[in-house]
Copies of this chain bind each other. A is one copy, B any other.
Amino acid sequence: MCRWLAYSGEALTPSTLVLETQHSLVAQSLNSPLGKETVNGDGFGLGWYPERDVPGSAPALFRSIEPAWYDENLREIAQSIESPLFFAHVRAAAGPPIQQTNCHPFRHENWMFMHNGALRQFDLMRRDMLLEVDPALFSSIRGTTDSEALFYLALTYGLKVDPIAAMARAIREVERIGAALSVPNPVQGTFAVSNGMTIWAFRYSTAHASRTLFHSEDMETLQATYPDLDRLRIFDAGARVIVSEPLSDLPGAFIEVPESTVSVLDRDGYRQEAFLRAA
């Protein structure tokens, strides 16, 4: 179990959200009110696009197995760079070893992926999942997590062409593999994907009882509601985050994303639709 956030808006210094908010991601690494695990100290990652809407431009990654709360380099980097679209993640390992190649986000060319939750009995399902990955992609898998394996399944199924359909197919494939191996409710999680232009965030679990997911309120609405709140002024009108739990207790600032939903966030704003709901 982990905590993550995805930001889209004008270029922003990640430390604003990662270090400085009331329940910043680094604060959540030590104490997560809504998390399944209280402590998320098994490494972290920051992935950022230098500019947005540059087709094919790859994000940069800074990942480490040190707990986020004491990593001095994380503080330096998060205060030094600016990015219009970034992912940040703190990990609570569910089994796979704690090593840099198992830290989120994962990257393939210009695509990034991160996950909160777990594929149940992944040890059992892993071989079948890897066999299903496109052989041409196989050698790009560098770590040993369930999350990265799911990412490569989705890439195999056309993530770059139709992210929502590819994620749906990848999840269904894991559920099929799980069923064949008698794994109950194999998929659990919230997932974020981006190509540097759009963020897709999925809340889904086989048991329809997924980890929490929230998106922030429209910034102009929020600024109008709290005209005296200085800390909101640093955000532009289009700034928006999707997060595994709220970054502050400010009433109205964070809205829960429903179960079995995909959120889509880009220059045109935020929208959401049903994802893998039974007909």
Contact surface of A with B, Cβ cutoff 8 Å: 30-31, 38-39, 41-42, 48, 50, 60-67, 69-70, 72-73, 76-77, 79-81, 93, 97-101, 123-124, 126-127, 130-131, 135, 138-139, 142-144
**Residues from chain B with Cβ under 8 Å of A30 in the complex:** 39
**Number of copies of this protein chain within its complex:** 4
Contacts A100-B99, A127-B139, A138-B126; A73 near B80 (Cβ below 8 A) = no
Shortest CB–CB separation between residue A80 and chain B, in angstroms? 4
**Residues from chain B with Cβ under 8 Å of A67 in the complex:** 41-42, 67
Shortest CB–CB separation between residue A177 and chain B, in angstroms? 13
Closest residue on chain B to residue A73 by CB atoms: B62
**Cβ of B70 and Cβ of A73 under 8 Å apart?**
no
**Cβ of A62 and Cβ of B77 under 8 Å apart?**
yes
Given A41-B69, A97-B99, A97-B142, 7 other A-B contacts at CB below 8 A?
Answer: A39-B41, A50-B80, A62-B73, A63-B72, A72-B97, A77-B77, A126-B138
**Cβ of A124 and Cβ of B100 under 8 Å apart?**
no
**Residues from chain B with Cβ under 8 Å of A38 in the complex:** 31, 38
Instruction: Supply 18 A–B pairs (Cβ within 8 Å), ascending by A.
Output: A31-B39, A39-B39, A39-B41, A41-B67, A41-B69, A48-B80, A60-B77, A61-B72, A61-B73, A64-B73, A70-B93, A70-B98, A72-B97, A81-B81, A99-B99, A99-B100, A101-B144, A127-B130
Which among A50, A70, A142 has the greatest number of chain B C-beta atoms within 10 A? Answer: A70
Give Cα distance in the complex from A213 to B20, angstroms. 36
**Residues from chain B with Cβ under 8 Å of A101 in the complex:** 97, 99, 144
**Cβ of A100 and Cβ of B72 under 8 Å apart?**
yes
Closest residue on chain B to residue A130 by CB atoms: B130
Closest residue on chain B to residue A96 by CB atoms: B142
Partner of A126, one of B50, B66, B80, B139: B139
Partner of A73, one of B63, B126, B131: B63
